[in-house]
Structure 1
Amino acid sequence: MNGREDLTYVYAAAPDTPEVRASLAGVRGVSGTSVALLPLSKASPPTTSLPTGSFPAGSPPTDPIRTTAPAPVAFVVSRVASDEFDERTLKARFEDLEWLEGVARAHHEVVQTVARHDTVLPLRLATVYQNDDRARGALAAQHHVFAERIALLRDRSEFGVKLYISPTGPSEPREDTAGASLGPGKAYLRSRRAQHSAQQVRYRHAQEAADRVEALASRFSTHRVRHPAQRGALAGPEENVLNDAYLVPHDRAEEFRTALTAAVEGLNGVRVEVTGPWAPYSFATPSPAPEAPGEGTAP
């Protein structure tokens, strides 16, 4: 083992199947290191049916899960340098947006690779353990939870749905009833009133669009998670007023996208954005509890 690559970086939990193992052949993850499955040591696959687990508040009930014995769960891992991913270094590196973007992109690509072949439970960015044995210990402690959630999410993907309100531009100065141009002060006040009125119309349209989205999405999805609306640079020049994630069965995905894309027809100033399919980040189980300070979680 390379002296610099002495930590186990965990991307996700996934079923330990030949298909998932084959999907990782040649895949490179964080820091360009090879990715593989880390199975439980001397563990037998579960053989009993699993109870239904809980989802975030606000999610509707799901259909009954399968009762056949699932494949054992493994971690998707690679090796990373301790001087880049130890606790002290991570605290500083998480302030480096360029480095963070590179790690997040590599992490996401690994998760999406697995998601194209089987159900995957993404773990928190920069989840690291001292070695494979510590990672296996965390996997053993959470194995039932991971297996339960994988059974619940099987054959489903996450879709993001966002609603945006377009900004209102300045109004042109108008002429009064006598035909004379308005003075600067009156023109400004009239322009502000016009902008306010236009923005109020947009907000009414956005509320109607949100109602349509919720009604339509409930016909094709099994769960929903509401995220905070994005602000600033993340939203761009538009105002983000809705930022939801939906869990959608694979065989309803195109219907879901088509219905939601058309949800704002006839509503001026409102735009809907549907993204996906994604790995179920919003519905995955939390990361395992760390065994020691700095292990198993990001700062």
Structure 2
Amino acid sequence: MAGPPDDPPEGPLYVYGIVRRGFRPRPGLTGVGDAAVFAVPEGPLAALASATGSASEPPGAGGPPGEPAVGDASLQATADAHRRVVDAAAAAVCVLPTRLGTVHRDVQEVRRTLAARTDLYRRLLARLDGRLEWGVKAYAQDEEAVPVGAGPVADCAGEPTDGLARAAHHTLADVAECSCVYSPQDACPAGAPPGAAAACATSAYWTSPIARAPYPHGRNLLDSAYLVPREAAGAFAETVGGLAARSPALRIELTGPWAPYSFTEPGRLPGFSG
């Protein structure tokens, strides 16, 4: 395992996630702008970070530290680099992914942030240890099977409004430890103007941090994430397969496992205070 550089780079740092102190990124791991990834330790924690890259400033570098990136031509490349670093860490340890485009002014600011939030981050790491995120999306195979007037949105309770999608979500939520429902996004309509596909890809990414590409054609009825203990992954996947077999009106897609992107906010973890 590679240790941090003797002299951390000066200037802005892109931060990918928070881990327990002692973890070191694997040799050769690079992030945004192909910059080397290293750990910034502070107390019992460490942040996975890199220089912002020599080619150009990453999205968010010009804005307030810690704020997510905005739409940019390099968004997809930044997203891929962010996910690559988080996935590499999640293969070995529990990691709290930061939001896409999280940039701090320098290494001292990274350490101040870790110090100020030590208790919260420690409790989140303990709560999420041994758990992974799975994503499930459902699309209408047969529009006639979808109730008239049922829009592809989530209601205030965080559940899909369509009856078929709601039933599928409830079944999966019973197997998972907890869940998070996003507002589904439909595919770009046929005949959309040039550049619309890229806009849809951006929208998909922001709606669900684990999305990789524009939604396929079809009415999206469910875009949800489920927190599942590692040992229950097989049972969860079997449940998804059973739903797909019993629901010919829906096309159900399963992605994962991922780091717990959707569950690093305390409000999304039942029973988690603060």
Query: Scaled by the length of structure 1, what TM-score is found?
Result: 0.65
The residue identity in structure 2 corresponding to 1:161 is V
**Which residue of 1 is the match for residue 132 of structure 2?**
157
1:156–1:249 Cα contact (<8 Å) kept: yes
More deviation in 78-87 or 224-233? 78-87
Please report the RMSD computed on the Cα atoms of aligned residues, expressed in angstroms.
2.9
Partner of 1:9: 14
Task: Report the residue type matching 2:250 in the other structure.
Answer: V
- Rounded to whole Å, the distance in 1 between the matches of 2:75 and 2:168 is 37
1:274 to 254, 263, 266: 254
State the match for 2:91 in structure 1. Answer: 116
Q: What do residues 212-259 of structure 1 show as CA deviations (whole Å, max 9, x unaligned)?
A: 44224413x111111111223333211111111100000000110111
CA contact (8 A) 1:12 1:120 kept: yes
Offset at 1:276? 0.6
In structure 1, the gaps of 5 or more residues are: 44-71, 169-196, 287-299
Deviation at 1:84, TM superposition (A): 1.3
- Name the structure 2 match of 1:84: 57
Residues 1-80 of structure 1 correspond to what in structure 2 (within 5 A)?
A: 6-17=11-22, 20-21=23-24, 23-40=25-42, 43=43, 72-80=44-52
- Please state if 1:214 is matched with 2:170: yes
Find the aligned partners of 1:284 and 1:33 in 2 and give their Cα distance.
25
Q: How many residues align?
A: 218
2:260 maps to 1:260:
no
Which structure features the higher share of helix residues?
A: 1
SS in 1 for 2:117: helix
2:147 and 2:181 map into 1 onto residues whose CA distance is: 24
Structure 2 stretches lacking a partner, 5+ long? 1-5, 151-161, 189-213, 267-274
Verify the 8 A CA contact 1:223 1:247 in the aligned structure 2.
Answer: yes
Determine what percentage of the aligned residue pairs are the same residue: 32
C-alpha displacement of 1:268:
2.6
1:246 aligns with 2:226: yes
Offset of residue 120 of structure 1: 0.6
Structure with the bigger RCO (C-alpha within 8 Å, sep 6+) is 1
Amino acid at match of 2:41: P
- The structure-2 alpha-carbon separation of the partners of 1:239 and 1:5, relative to structure 1 and needing over 3 Å to count, comes to farther
- TM-score in terms of structure 2 length: 0.71
Q: Which string of whole-angstrom CA distances, capped at 9 and with x for unpartnered residues, describes residues 59-96 of structure 1? A: xxxxxxxxxxxxx21101111258614416x99x9443
1:198–1:33 CA distance, 2 compared to 1 (3 A)? closer
Alignment CA distance shift 1:39-1:212 (3 Å): same
